[in-house]
Structure 1
Amino acid sequence: MPVLTPPRPSARRGGRAGRALAALVGRRRGRQAAAVQRSATQVATRVVARLAWRWIRRILLAKASVIILIVAVVIVAAWLAVLALAAGAASSANSAAGVPSSVPGLNPIVLDAITKAVGRAGQLAPGCTIRWSLLAGIGEVESNNAGGRTVAPNGDVSPPIVGPVLDGSGVGGNTTPMSERAQGPFQFMPSTWASVGQDGNGDGKRDPQNVYDAAAAAVVYLCGGKPADLTNPDQERAAIYRYNHSNAYVAQVMAAVARFDAYGTNPGAGGPAGPAVETAIAFALKQQGLPYVWGGNGPPSSAGFDCSGLTKAAYAQAGITLPRVAVDQFAVGPQVAGPGDGLAKLQRGDLLYWAYDPHNPATIHHVALYLGNNQMIEAADFGIPVRVRSVYFEGFAGATRPAAH
Structure 2
Amino acid sequence: MRSLGVVALLVAAACSAPPVGPAPLPVVPPPTPVPSAAAAGPQAEFATWAAEVASRTDVPARALQSYAVAESRLASLAPSCDLTWVTLAGIGAVETDHGRHGSRTLLADGRPSQPIVGPRLDGSRFESVRDTDAGEFDGDATWDRAVGPLQFIPSSWADWATDGDDDGRADPQDLDDAAVSAGRYLCAEGGDLDTDVGWSRAVLSYNDTENYLRSVQAQAAAYAEATADL
TMscore range, shorter length: 0.5 to 0.7
- Name the residue aligned to 1:371: none
Residue identity opposite 1:124 in structure 2:
L
Deviation at 1:124, TM superposition (A): 3.2
Counterpart selection for 1:246 from 195, 209, 212: 209
Could you tell me the percent identity over the aligned residues? 36
Aligned counterparts of 1:200 and 1:242: Cα–Cα separation in 2: 21
Q: Does 1:256 align with 2:211?
A: no
* Residues 1:122 and 2:75 aligned together: yes
1:156 aligns with 2:111: yes
Matched position secondary structure for 2:59 = coil
Which runs of 4 or more aligned residues in structure 1 lie more than 6 Å from their structure 2 counterparts after TM superposition? none
Deviation (angstroms), 1:123: 2.7
Are the structure 2 counterparts of residues 175 and 263 from structure 1 closer, same or farther at C-alpha, using a change threshold of 3 Å? same
Task: For 1:239, give the aligned amino acid.
Answer: A
Aligned counterpart in structure 2 of residue 110 of structure 1, from 38, 63, 76: 63
Aligned-residue offset at 1:105: 1.9
Note the C-alpha offset of 1:220.
0.4
CA contact (8 A) 2:189 2:202 kept: no
Task: Assess, with a 3 A threshold, how the Cα gap between structure 1 residues 245 and 143 changes in structure 2: closer, same or farther.
Answer: same
User: 1:186, 1:261 → 2: CA distance?
Assistant: 20
2:164 pairs with 177, 188, 200, which one?
A: 200
Q: Which amino acid aligns with 2:176?
A: Y
Deviation at 1:165, TM superposition (A): 1.8
Which residue, out of 209, 212, 217, partners 2:176? 212
Cα-Cα RMSD = 2.4
> Does structure 1 retain, via aligned residues, the 8 Å contact 2:75–2:83?
no
Q: 1:265/1:133 Cα in 2 relative to 1: closer, same or farther (>3 Å)?
A: same
Per-residue displacement from partner, 1:310-332 (whole Å, max 9, x unpaired)? xxxxxxxxxxxxxxxxxxxxxxx
CA displacement, residues 33-78 of structure 1 (integer Å, 9 cap, x when unaligned): xxxxxxxxxxxxxxxxxxxxxxxxxxxxxxxxxxxxxxxxxxxxxx
User: 1:157, CA displacement in angstroms?
Assistant: 2.1
Whether 2:94 is the aligned partner of 1:141: answer yes
Q: CA deviation at 1:125?
A: 2.7
What does 1:3-402 align with in structure 2 at a 5 Å threshold? 95-96=30-31, 101-103=52-54, 104-147=57-100, 148-169=103-124, 174-178=126-130, 179-224=143-188, 228-267=191-230
Q: Whose strand fraction is larger, Structure 1's or Structure 2's?
A: 1
Q: How far apart in 1 are the matches of 2:224 and 2:189?
A: 25
Cα pair distance change 1:121/1:95, threshold 3 Å: farther
Amino acid at match of 2:122: D
Provide TM-score, normalisation by structure 2. Answer: 0.66
Corresponding residue for residue 40 of structure 2: none
- Unmatched segments (≥5 aa) in structure 1: 1-93, 268-405
| 265 and 169 in structure 1: CA distance in 2 versus 1, 3 angstrom threshold | farther
Tell me, in whole angstroms, the C-alpha distance in 2 between the residues paired with 1:248 and 1:167. 23
**Judging changes above 3 Å, is the alpha-carbon distance between structure 1 residues 204 and 186 closer, same or farther for their aligned structure 2 residues?**
same
For 2:161 and 2:148, locate their aligned partners in 1 and report how far apart those are by CA, in whole Å: 12
Displacement of 1:122 after TM fit? 2.0
Please say if residues 154 and 201 of structure 1, whose CA atoms lie closer than 8 Å, have aligned partners that are also in contact.
no
- Rg comparison, structure with higher value: 1
- Partner amino acid for 2:115? P
Alignment check: 8 A CA contact 2:53 2:227 kept: no
Q: Name the structure, 1 or 2, with higher relative contact order (CA <8 Å, separation 6+).
A: 2
Contact 1:118 1:131 in 2 (8 A): yes
Confirm or deny: 8 A CA contact 2:162 2:170 kept in the other structure: yes
The letter of the residue matching 2:84 is: R
Equivalent pairs, count:
170
Task: Summarize the Cα distance change of 1:169–1:231 in structure 2 as closer, same or farther, 3 Å threshold.
Answer: farther
Alignment check: 8 A CA contact 1:113 1:211 kept: yes
> Offset at 1:133?
1.2
User: How many angstroms does 1:180 deviate by?
Assistant: 0.5
